[in-house]
Amino acid sequence: MSVEESTASEHEHVNREEQRPRTKIIGLEVPIFFGVVAIVLIGVYMEILPDNLTSGLIVAMVLGGALKWVGDRIPVFNTFGGGPILCILIPALFLYWGIFPESLATLTDDFYTTFGFADLAVTGIIVGSILSMDRNLLMKIGIRFFVPLLGAVLCGLLAGGLAGQLIGFGFTEAMFFVVGPIMGGGMAAGAVPMSEIYAASQGGDPGEVLARLAPAVMVGNMICILVAGALNGLGKRKNKMKNFSGDGAMLRTKEKEQTFEEDNNKDSAFPFSINNLIIGIVISLTLYILGNALGSLIPALHPYVWIILGAALLKIINILPMEIEKAAGDWYEFITKAWVPAVLVAISAGMIDFASVLEIVTNPSYISLTILTVIMAALAAGFIGLMVGFYFVESAIGAGLGMADMGGSGDVAVLSAGDRMGLMPFLQISSRLGGAMMLVLLSLLSSILM
């Protein structure tokens, strides 16, 4: 072989190596990532990490990244929201078994609550998720869509509360601690602010409240996926049931849903940039200050509720330039990709007592209430959707299960099981605005009934 041929062969080999996809975890190649994990775990087990924001953030991000990567690759389990569920289960379970030192619980709890990371992350999620929504979709279909959405919420609350009363669980207990977290839009944007709202009403500790809310979110998400699969199976027999399934189309009209290009226009006109993140931080934290100011003046509503109302008002009256809405959306995307697994780990390790979780989820009454809540939400959304011109299956999945799943990964899992990924905009409305609406409602009710 000549020198030229040998050199060409080597270049071809190098090019193939460069083109071969490499597995990465939170952007790092696997060997490098596990080197980071090893260093972090050495610090954890030697208990030498200072109790501050820096230590808490790196521990939560590394553990969250590892658990999400593993959970998302476990067959079958990954269809039930595997990664986020591992993030919320494993840290609390390992502390319960004594695998992690207790100092980890103190570190993550202080990082998330004492040092204020919760306010930064949750505010960014709430503001960004609302401001980044497609306003055209909201205005053209969203108003009609809120009818089955509201029906799912009210029927879920009423059915869950009455069932809780009948089986001895209690009406308000079932409504606030089973139905509320299931229909609240997920963990980070639902159960976490909900725990703050309840604690403010009761005068208790948000961590203890969250430990009672988290199981409903996780169990409810699994049931949502099973129900979505069942609805998909029934939808395939639509020739026997008029207006039952639209094969992914929501409206029962000759003109199917329009494709709205607002988000695509934003992406092309205002691509992701560091400046966008700066703007997104400023806008979300400005609304955080506004929410706290209004909350101090009108304490009947929690500051998170005022943040929701402020962001929704800005979106509805369309006062902000598109570039600012896009920036808020970019900040939201950054948080969901970089920090949500860390948030779930911090919540699990620092705020959830696994012994209490076991006691809750092994209660047959609790499981029954969870199943009933999800099924009633889906049925109510389906039947009410029929009345306003939607197909039953699509309305049940979009408005009912979209409210009851974990949001984000839950939306993807539900739509995958239901074979209707095209309904994602509707599940985003359910998880974001529907979950926000649930927080407002529960804030009002908690000030009266708790």
User: Considering the domain boundaries, does residue 302 fall inside one?
Assistant: yes
Q: Please indicate, yes or no, if residue 408 is contained in any of the structural domains.
A: yes
- pLDDT tens for each residue of 89-128: 899 899 999 999 999 999 998 988 888 888 898 888 888 8
In a domain, 14, yes or no: no
Look at residue 237 and tell me if it is in a domain.
yes
Q: pLDDT for 200-234, tens place per residue? A: 887 777 878 888 888 888 888 878 888 888 888 88
Name the strand (E) or helix (H) holding 276: helix 274-297
> Has residue 20 been placed in a domain?
no
Report CA dihedral (409, 184, 374, 131) to the nearest 10 degrees: -60
Q: What is the pLDDT of residue 408?
A: 67
Q: Mean of the pLDDT values across residues 169-178?
A: 88
Residue that wins the pLDDT comparison between 441 and 431: 441
**62 domain-assigned:** no
Confidence of residue 62 (pLDDT cuts 50, 70, 90): very high
Distance between CA atoms of residues 373 and 381, nearest Å? 12
Residue 295 and residue 313: Cα distance in Å, rounded? 17
Alpha-carbon 2 to chain mean position: 60
Alpha helices in 23-100 (DSSP H): 30-46, 53-71, 82-97
Beta bridge partners of 29: 24
CB 67 within 8 A of CB 345: yes
Residue 289 to residues 120, 244, 283, 316, 335: CA-CA distances in angstroms?
A: 11, 47, 10, 20, 19
User: Is residue 432 in a domain?
Assistant: yes
Residues facing residue 24 across a β-bridge = 29
Q: How confident is the model at residue 414 (pLDDT cuts 50, 70, 90)?
A: confident
Q: Does a structural domain hold residue 40?
A: no
Residue range 386-399: mean pLDDT, rounded: 90
Domain ranges, residue 395:
120-449
Contact 19, 78 (CB under 8 A): no
Q: Tens digits of per-residue pLDDT, 245-303?
A: 888 778 776 544 444 444 555 566 677 789 999 999 999 999 999 999 998 898 767 78
Number of domains the chain is built from: 1
**pLDDT in the model for residue 223:** 86
